[in-house]
Structure 1
Amino acid sequence: MNSRRSFIKRSGLMVAASTLPLNLNCFMFLKQKQKLGVALVGLGNYSTGQLGPALLETQNCELKGIVTGSPEKIPVWQKKYGIKDANVYNYQNMHTIADNDEIDVVYIVLPVSLHAEYAIKAANAGKHVWCEKPMAKTSTECRQIIQACEKNKVKLSIGYRMQHEANTQTIMKWAHSQPFGKILNLEAAAGFNGRNIVPWKLKKEMGGGAMYDMGVYPLNAARYATAMEPVAVSATQSTSRPEMFREVDETTIFDLEFPGGVMAKCHTSFGENLNNLDIKCEKGWYYLRPFQSYSGVKGEASDGTILSPFGKNQQAVQMDNDALAILNKEPVRVPGEDGLRDIIILEKIYESAAQGGKRMKL
């Protein structure tokens, strides 16, 4: 009798709820999170200097957990971000994050060679995956990440922050609308004159080298600034400091051929300060200089249009956009397929350089 009364009571509540306005009904019963909990995997320079602080500014997500192999970093992060003991993980027990309802997203911020392993672990734990660029060391690993996310029905987004930046968004729109006529060619370059480079970025097996680290900026920019995919590539690699760059490239120069004869001349280096994206069209030109800095991205067009600095934290905007895509069940701005495409091209760049700049079809 008691169970029957309980059933009738519950049924009555459900009927009553169904007559409520939709938004109140959802509020009462769906209890959808207003903010997603994020766990950072890897507490190196980028997490410490950029992502952690950015998560203090986000509206749609917040830092809830950390995964680290450095115990001495734990109290520092807990004090600054109020992270619970229960939300602190190491690389051996990271899989148990599956049991933590406070964490919705796992952001992989590790050396490139570790991206696939831990992105797949995150997906298998049922968490949405944000993976820093470049997506992985090989195209095979990229595909494995995509497959793991699809299998576990979680979203995958690659950390190309520039595609979330306002002036870059304008460049991407112009690629389609072509306000200055057909794009003829472009130049893109990203690099810095490094003296104290993070050690793993000098190791081939870990995905080091200028092309992996900085080269994906001009590579990705050439694709989004033309809204096309290259059909061939040729490349050369060099070093002026062989004592430092024993295993990886210090400088890579590569040309991308696009349909219709559009050419992109790209340059990346650990030995030069480079930061420009210049597009020439039939009826004018436009540029961003700098085009991939953490702040101050700005530009100009031949008609006098000024692209003033965005003025917002790029990483915060990126993570908020990706969180909204999850909350609203919408496509992410930079899916895994975008990251995969860059690595397919990157592999051909290395292949071309190894063969003295031979033209490689894509």
Structure 2
Amino acid sequence: MHELSRRHFMKGAAAATFAAPFISTAATREKAGPNKKLGVALCGLGKLSTDQIAPALQKTQHCRLAGIVTGSSGKVDTWRKKYNLPARSVYTYDTMHRMADNDDIDIVYVVTPNALHLEHTVAAAKAGKHVFCEKPLEISVERCQQMIDACKAADRMLGTAYRCRFEPHHLEGIRIAREQELGPVRIIEAGFGIDVGAADQWRVKRALSGGGALMDVGIYALQATRYLTGEEPVLVSATETKTDPVKFAEVDETVTWTAQFPSGANAYCTASFKVGGIKNFRATADRGWFELDPAYYYGGIKGMRSDGKPLSFPQVDMFAAELDDFARCVLEKRPTVVSGEEGMQDVKIMSAIYESIRTGRAVKI
């Protein structure tokens, strides 16, 4: 069922998705046998890597955890023992260039703060590794482009970690919208809000995050409006609300925005670091609606349709699904639907949203 939905999505999204071609090396081609797995090094060993990505790698069909990159020496022994990693596959951020001599590592998954993605992507690409990078791709369009250019120069693939693009409920939503099963989609309401927690974390420091709620969780809602419509917004208008100006002195706390699409569809979106419990999207068409609530959690995704037809699929590990798809793209020498260009497009739109907040005017894209 998941594979069927994935094929629907791949067919429908092809025209709207940008992807950078790459040349596969002989070493990678040798690993293309049915029982081969590509080695993945995790760059950054924070909570996401520890609790989600590393466990997901144990479930993948085409990947395996083959290395780590960390600035915390105290974590090394724990990770080496837990995942049976050799000493030669442990790196610091300053020694990533040595990966060039390690054929066990094919892909570097960058899981560091947003503003460090460029540095670590360039280092991985220069070492001859493909790069899979957490969202947002970076904190500006210019820095995203530098990442894309570095991977192209190294003939390596760059992917953006949009896990929802490989989740069955989201894929079915894309199918319903693109095939106009309920008629053309006219309105999309989407939002994601969390209580971000401590005031001393990198997410509320502009130098590392590049922005607040919009960059961190709002990007899920933004992505949903784009992959449901299959279009790019042409006009955005946004406002910001800040109830805690001390904690959120450097970044946005709550952002609401509207977006207009070429087909005439309109989106109404919210992102918040203060108001939790916002976690859904609803697409309203001429003959009904469908929704996911929750839509963006790591698990427990649920769907509903106004016509009573089921919108229910088995739960999957989205991190395993996205990694397997990226590995297949590398092995099969085909572009990924979550390319660096795809990641850069969201950063471009978020930049326009921030411009609208600053100027108080609608911004054309």
TM, length-normalised to structure 1: 0.90
Q: Does 1:254 align with 2:266?
A: no
Aligned CA distance change for structure 1 residues 32 and 258 (closer, same or farther; 3 Å): closer
Q: 2:340 aligns with which of 336, 339, 362?
A: 336
Q: Which moved more, 1:130-139 or 1:141-150?
A: 141-150
Higher relative contact order (CA 8 A, sep 6+): 2
Aligned CA distance change for structure 1 residues 50 and 198 (closer, same or farther; 3 Å): farther
Q: Identify the residue that residue 319 of structure 2 maps to in structure 1.
A: 315
Q: Does 1:272 align with 2:275?
A: yes
CA distance in 2, matches of 1:30, 1:290: 41
Mapped contact 2:199–2:247 kept (Cα < 8 A): no
Q: Does 1:327 align with 2:331?
A: yes
CA distance in 2, matches of 1:30, 1:303: 50
Mapped contact 1:165–1:310 kept (Cα < 8 A): no
In the TM superposition, what are the counterparts of 1:217-296 in structure 2 within 5 Å?
217-273=220-276, 274-296=278-300
* AA partner of residue 53 (structure 2): L
CA deviations 1:98-141 (Å, max 9, x no partner) are 11000000010010000011111111111001010000000001
- Secondary structure at the aligned position of 1:107 is classed as strand
* AA partner of residue 248 (structure 1): V
- Structure 1 portions without partners, runs of 5+: 1-25
Q: Identify the residue that residue 72 of structure 1 maps to in structure 2.
A: 74
CA distance in 2, matches of 1:182, 1:31: 44
- Secondary structure at the aligned position of 2:315 is classed as coil
Q: Which moved more, 1:254-263 or 1:278-287?
A: 254-263
Q: Identify the residue that residue 19 of structure 2 maps to in structure 1.
A: none
- Secondary structure at the aligned position of 2:146 is classed as helix
How far residue 283 of structure 1 moved from its aligned partner, in angstroms, is 0.9
Mapped contact 1:295–1:309 kept (Cα < 8 A): no
- Secondary structure at the aligned position of 1:259 is classed as coil
Aligned CA distance change for structure 1 residues 31 and 277 (closer, same or farther; 3 Å): closer
* AA partner of residue 43 (structure 2): V
Q: Identify the residue that residue 92 of structure 2 maps to in structure 1.
A: 90
Percent identity between the aligned chains?
42
CA distance in 2, matches of 1:268, 1:334: 22
How far residue 92 of structure 1 moved from its aligned partner, in angstroms, is 0.8
Q: Identify the residue that residue 360 of structure 1 maps to in structure 2.
A: 363
CA distance in 2, matches of 1:316, 1:85: 25
CA distance in 1, matches of 2:99, 2:250: 36
Q: Identify the residue that residue 130 of structure 1 maps to in structure 2.
A: 132
Q: Which moved more, 1:178-187 or 1:309-318?
A: 309-318
How far residue 50 of structure 1 moved from its aligned partner, in angstroms, is 0.5
Mapped contact 2:31–2:331 kept (Cα < 8 A): no
Q: Identify the residue that residue 38 of structure 1 maps to in structure 2.
A: 40
CA deviations 1:314-338 (Å, max 9, x no partner) are 1011111111111111221211111
Aligned CA distance change for structure 1 residues 329 and 204 (closer, same or farther; 3 Å): same
Q: Which moved more, 1:145-154 or 1:156-165?
A: 145-154
CA deviations 1:284-343 (Å, max 9, x no partner) are 110010110100111111221222253221101111111111111122121111101000
Q: Identify the residue that residue 13 of structure 2 maps to in structure 1.
A: none
Find the structure with the greater CA-based Rg. Answer: 1
Q: Identify the residue that residue 349 of structure 2 maps to in structure 1.
A: 345
How far residue 30 of structure 1 moved from its aligned partner, in angstroms, is 4.5
Q: Identify the residue that residue 4 of structure 2 maps to in structure 1.
A: none
Q: Identify the residue that residue 5 of structure 1 maps to in structure 2.
A: none
How far residue 198 of structure 1 moved from its aligned partner, in angstroms, is 6.3
CA distance in 2, matches of 1:31, 1:155: 16
- Secondary structure at the aligned position of 2:216 is classed as helix
In the TM superposition, what are the counterparts of 1:128-207 in structure 2 within 5 Å?
128-196=130-198, 199-207=201-209
* AA partner of residue 265 (structure 1): Y
- Secondary structure at the aligned position of 1:134 is classed as coil
- Secondary structure at the aligned position of 2:263 is classed as helix
Q: Which moved more, 1:300-309 or 1:147-156?
A: 300-309
* AA partner of residue 196 (structure 2): G
* AA partner of residue 274 (structure 2): G
- Secondary structure at the aligned position of 1:91 is classed as coil
CA distance in 1, matches of 2:95, 2:333: 29
* AA partner of residue 141 (structure 2): S
Aligned CA distance change for structure 1 residues 335 and 191 (closer, same or farther; 3 Å): same
CA distance in 2, matches of 1:330, 1:40: 23
How far residue 237 of structure 1 moved from its aligned partner, in angstroms, is 1.0
CA distance in 1, matches of 2:110, 2:273: 23
CA distance in 2, matches of 1:297, 1:161: 13
CA distance in 2, matches of 1:198, 1:217: 24
How far residue 235 of structure 1 moved from its aligned partner, in angstroms, is 0.6
Q: Does 1:214 align with 2:226?
A: no
